[in-house]
Structure 1
Amino acid sequence: MIHPVAGLPSGYGAAPETAPEAPSPVRVMVAASVRLVRDGLAHTLGTATEVVAVTADGCATLREIARLEPGLLLLDVSMEGALGLVQQMARAAPGTRVVAFAVDDAHDDQLLAWAEAGVVGWVGRDASADDVVQAVLRAARGELLCSARTAALLSARLALLARQGRVAAPPGHAGQLTPREAEVGELLARGCSNKHIARVLGLQLATVKNHVHSILEKLEVRSRGEAGALLRGTHAGV
């Protein structure tokens, strides 16, 4: 029989408890066309995450995501082709979540366009450094940091899409709108200019003009105003 030795603390000689492993930090990439912006964001995030790379354009971003497989990308929406990049990532890198940075959250169209493209969070133009960090960390946990107004906007949009399904041309008119034409048509019905539509959807202005021309032909109308009126009537009847 082994007796405890006097003078030694209780538990002496027992196997030391194994300290729980600290969770791995979130691996983040930062993409922004302006160096000062991407370096500042990387520095801000470095206190709470592991920043694995910074990139300045879409091609480099896709290449580094394929190589490094980060858990999350913080993307500046002012970078050329940013919205299209998110749409590409949904197919090519579904394991990397995207948080959009510097979104103009005063415009519902922009918020909806980014949400539909596949971002899991966004940070407005007036956000603080702490807001950026919190948005990234929450997105990594599968949570969305947003205002009550934004949550209501997303809920209403989800309900509309569920009812709407694939958008058809109004009854009695030729053909159906393609998914991209439906997106352009919805903004057209809201009175948005071609330039605004191009900016929201991340398209070239010439591409938007082609879509508008196709919509007018399919709806058998001559003007944007007539097309908008028909499309507004279609949405109201959904």
Structure 2
Amino acid sequence: MLIDDHALFRYGVGMVLAAGLVDIEITEAASLEQALLQSDDAFDLVLLDLQLQGLNGLDGIALIKRKWPHSKVVIVSANQDKHIQDEALARGAHGFISKLETPSRMLELVGQVLAGQLPASTPVPNPDKKPRLSPRQSEVLELLCLGLPNKLIGRRLNLSENTVRGHVQAILQTLQVSSRSEAAFVARRQGLIN
């Protein structure tokens, strides 16, 4: 089961898993509440986003373990705070996979979990290796991090809304995230903005 409130991320991870694993059946949920309404049939693995609308992933670990005690729960998040990872493991998660991982690495880690080989905490990508953004993408990112919508970013930078949208998509892809809020978080974390 894949629990994440970003439909595009669920779709992408589902495609990666379906292409890379044999005999896999994926169930999706946009929230913990929606996930817990699923049947009582156990899942081999639950990939759980940390930042969810309503009940968050950390608080949801116990509920998932109660409903499906034999399921392996892995947190999947852009948040790379070591304390959060330790807290997730202390609450019963089997591992932590960063959303900054490449699809092939995520597939490898999921395979390890299913085989019972995942270490307690998965390594995260090297934070010293900063993504390369163009000067214009950096300007768009800075305004995006201020919470401005595409239209206002376009006005500030004298760009069309479509051009800004293209830059935002390129930024999301470069940072390997699925939302503007995740992009802002990663950008601050990696020192890409002031």
Tell me the TM-score normalised to structure 1 length.
0.46
Q: Given the alignment, which residue of 110, 114, 123 partners 1:136?
A: 110
For residues 103 and 119 of structure 2, the distance between their equivalents in structure 1, rounded to whole angstroms, comes to 14
Tell me how large the CA RMSD over aligned residues is.
Answer: 2.2
For residues 101 and 20 of structure 2, the distance between their equivalents in structure 1, rounded to whole angstroms, comes to 17
Look up the SS of the partner of 2:47 in the other structure. strand
Alignment deviations for residues 66-94 of structure 1 (CA, whole Å, 9 cap, x no partner): 44421001112122321111111222211
Amino acid at match of 1:86: I
Q: Given the alignment, which residue of 28, 31, 34 partners 2:6?
A: 34
Look up the SS of the partner of 2:20 in the other structure. coil
For residues 118 and 59 of structure 1, the distance between their equivalents in structure 2, rounded to whole angstroms, comes to 19
Give the ranges of 4+ consecutive aligned residues of structure 1 lying more than 2 Å apart after TM superposition: 145-150
Tell me the TM-score normalised to structure 2 length.
0.56
Query: Does the 8 Å CA contact 1:102/1:123 hold for their aligned counterparts?
Result: yes
Query: Does the 8 Å CA contact 1:31/1:76 hold for their aligned counterparts?
Result: yes
Aligned to 1:95: 70
Q: RCO (CA 8 Å, sep 6+): is it higher in 1 or 2? A: 2
Query: Does the 8 Å CA contact 2:89/2:120 hold for their aligned counterparts?
Result: no
The structural deviation recorded for 1:63 is: 2.2
Aligned to 1:104: 79
Larger Cα-atom Rg: 1
Look up the SS of the partner of 2:48 in the other structure. strand
Aligned to 2:87: 113
Look up the SS of the partner of 1:109 in the other structure. helix
Structure 2: runs of 5+ lacking an equivalent: 125-194
Aligned to 2:43: 70
Look up the SS of the partner of 1:100 in the other structure. strand
Equivalences, count: 120
* % identical aligned pairs: 18
